[in-house]
Structure 1
Amino acid sequence: NGFKMYELLKKEVRPVTASEVVSSTHFPEEMQGDFLICNVIGFLGIKEYHLERDADKGTVWGEPNGDELTVKVTQADGTITEETSRGFLMSGDKNFRPSDAIFAPDGSLYVSDWHNVIIGHMQHNVRDPNRDHKHGRIYRITATGRPLQKIVPIAGQPIPALLENLKHPTDSVRHRTHVELSGRNSKEVIAATQEWMNQFDPKKKEDAHPLLEALWIHQQHNVRNTQLLAMVQQSPELHARNAANVVQHLWFNVEASMHGGVIAAEKEEKAQKSGILSDTPELTTIRIATIPERMSYDVKELTVKAGKKIKLTFANPDFMPHNILLVNNGKVDEIANMALVMGAKGFETGFIPESTDIIWHSKLLDNGKEQVIEFTAPAKPGDYPYMCSFPGHSILMRGMLHVK
């Protein structure tokens, strides 16, 4: 479809459950446009990033923003420690799971807290008897000393009134208005939009945004308006021109190559062979990879000779971060628990705890990364499990190296 993914910001935390962009007249001006991400393992809170936009290059990137936060955390042995981080919100409650954040019509920010001691990516967590299926928390965050945003009527409003909402400065009002318009009769919406947009001058920079909103309405209702498209593409506002070029691409390039706008399924890359790739008297070459969206290694068992030199390529095509550790038999759960209690600091070491039971380990690899590990197989014959120590992964992500 012609689009390419780019790095928005340097990853500090994961896994991220939700995101939101600050757009509220109730919140301070210096926060407007900042990017918020909710995180539920390690760092328990909401990170904040200031987004820089380069219209000439069509790029956006985020820099860490927010306050210097400090919380007190009660450890398992009863001791109290302090954790610090920069961001919007942070909790010392180890069960705090901010799973969503959204701005309300009055400009306040609502944060849903899953608040559960049991967390993970696998189905067994849903069935765990210790999991709380009935309770959660919702927080409403307001800016002290600032008036709330005036609520704008949307549901059930006449089309001309809804179109006027598209002049509103906040994203949420315009977004909810687009949702409302999506359920209205397309002919009526387009006719009203074409009349409404006549009040704007395409040569004026301040009129670029409402004309772009009009173009998006046409796109939403599958009505091509090439005259309006060309008008916005000649706007004095570069951001509007960039957005119009995206509409042109979707109308003409994607629909022509993807059969009426239906996005064709991406061709899966041919899976590389894993397991034992070669075995000579001097060296055994092995490859182990993750399986995308399966929380699993593609090789569950391997057999090698004791004391043999091994060259292992570990690959992670999955979209989640993973590592691989070879450990002594019977120590998988113990090491998994040690990694879990590392909290946010675990990212500094790739969730590799200090333990003499770890024989070797990889780094914590992001999507598309590989690492070559050279080691000597244990001299003592036996079964040696390998595992992923990222919190919550080890239940399914494990295998066995048989040493003969």
Structure 2
Amino acid sequence: MRHLFTITLITFALVLTGCGSSESSDATSSSSTTVDRTVTLHPKKNLLKYKETEFTVAPGETIKLVFENTATSPSMLHNVVVLNTEPKKEVLWRVGEAGVAAGEDQEYVPDDEAVLTATPMADPGETVSVTFTVPEEPGAYGYLCTFPGHYVSMYGTMHVRTDPST
């Protein structure tokens, strides 16, 4: 009986040691990137539009862009693809069409020079995010959903200003 107690105690200690080491490695890796600001976007109900069609950040900031897919229709899969160019229709549509061609395996994110970063695809009820550094150049930068057909009406503008409160 005493032998069984000792084995149980040793097993418990090993389990605790194993759990402790994985937790500390997760904490170390997540603290390596300092986020200056978190920006959260949502879809506009079950429409092919973002609820927030613009947001403002400062040049060079590290942003955590969160997308909360609050849509309820099963067909409302969305992502957020941030561009390193102005939100001109021809660029938005080119990236959107290239996203369709990239397909589901690439989460509809094309290998295009205009793409700065992208969130993963989010099912209804799911929240996804991406952390990135804002371009140093002030100006207007586009973002869009590249799920097939959504790019035609689901887009917005990231304003980069030295004083993001204006």
Residue 358 in 1 paired to residue 115 in 2?
A: yes
Q: Which residue of 2 aligns with 1:393?
A: 150
Amino acid at match of 2:54: E
Note the 1:5-20 alignment, pairs <5 A: none
User: What is the CA deviation profile of residues 71-100 of structure 1, one whole-angstrom value per residue up to 9, with x for unaligned ones?
Assistant: xxxxxxxxxxxxxxxxxxxxxxxxxxxxxx
One-letter amino acid of the structure 2 residue matched with residue 323 of structure 1: N
SS in 2 for 1:310: strand
Q: Distance in 2 between matches of 1:390 and 1:296?
A: 12
Q: Larger Cα Rg: Structure 1 or Structure 2?
A: 1
Write the mapping of 1:226-305 to structure 2, written as runs, cut at 5 A: 283-305=36-58
- Letter of the 1:338 counterpart: A
Counterpart of 2:99 in structure 1 is 339
Cα distance in 2 for partners of 1:340, 1:284 equals 30
- After TM superposition, give the deviation of residue 315 of structure 1 in Å: 1.0
Q: Secondary structure at the match of 1:290?
A: coil
Superposed displacement of residue 293, structure 1: 1.4
- Distance in 1 (CA, whole Å) between partners of 2:98 and 2:65 is 25
Query: What's the % identity of the aligned pairs?
Result: 28
Residue 192 of structure 1: aligned partner:
none
Give the drift of 1:373. Answer: 1.6
1:353 and 1:337 map into 2 onto residues whose CA distance is 9
Paired amino acid for 2:81: L
Distance 2:134 2:99 in 1: 24
How many angstroms does 1:365 deviate by? 1.0
Using the alignment, how far apart are the partners of 1:392 and 1:372 within structure 2? 22
Q: Does 1:322 align with 2:78?
A: yes
Amino acid at match of 2:121: L
The 3 A distance-change label for structure 1 pair 334 and 305 is same
Residue in structure 2 matched with residue 179 of structure 1 by the alignment = none
* CA-to-aligned-CA distance 1:45-64 (integer Å, 9 cap, x gap): xxxxxxxxxxxxxxxxxxxx
Q: Which residue of 2 aligns with 1:373?
A: 130
Give the direction of change, closer, same or farther, for the CA distance of 1:309–1:368 in structure 2 (3 Å limit): same
1:316-367 CA-partner distances (Å, limit 9, x unpaired): 121211111001223211111212334xxx1111111111210000111111
Deviation at 1:294, TM superposition (A): 1.6
TM-score by length of 2: 0.68
Q: How far is 1:288 from its partner? A: 0.4
1:310 equivalenced with 2:66 (yes/no): no
What RMSD, in angstroms, separates the aligned Cα atoms of the two structures?
A: 1.4
Amino acid of the residue matched to residue 97 of structure 2? N
Are the structure 2 counterparts of residues 341 and 312 from structure 1 closer, same or farther at C-alpha, using a change threshold of 3 Å?
closer
Letter in 2 for 1:356: E
Query: Across the two proteins, how many residue pairs are aligned to each other?
Result: 120
Higher relative contact order (CA 8 A, sep 6+): 2
Task: Tell me how far 1:296 sits from its aligned partner.
Answer: 1.2
Structure 2: 5+ residue stretches without partners: 1-34, 162-166
Three-state SS of the structure 2 residue aligned to 1:334 is helix
CA distance in 1: counterparts of 2:96 and 2:129, whole angstroms: 23
Distance 2:129 2:150 in 1: 21
Normalising by structure 1, we get a TM-score of 0.29
Per-residue CA deviation, residues 140-178 of structure 1 (Å, 9 max, x unaligned), is xxxxxxxxxxxxxxxxxxxxxxxxxxxxxxxxxxxxxxx
Q: Aligned equivalents of 1:316 and 1:326: distance in 2?
A: 17
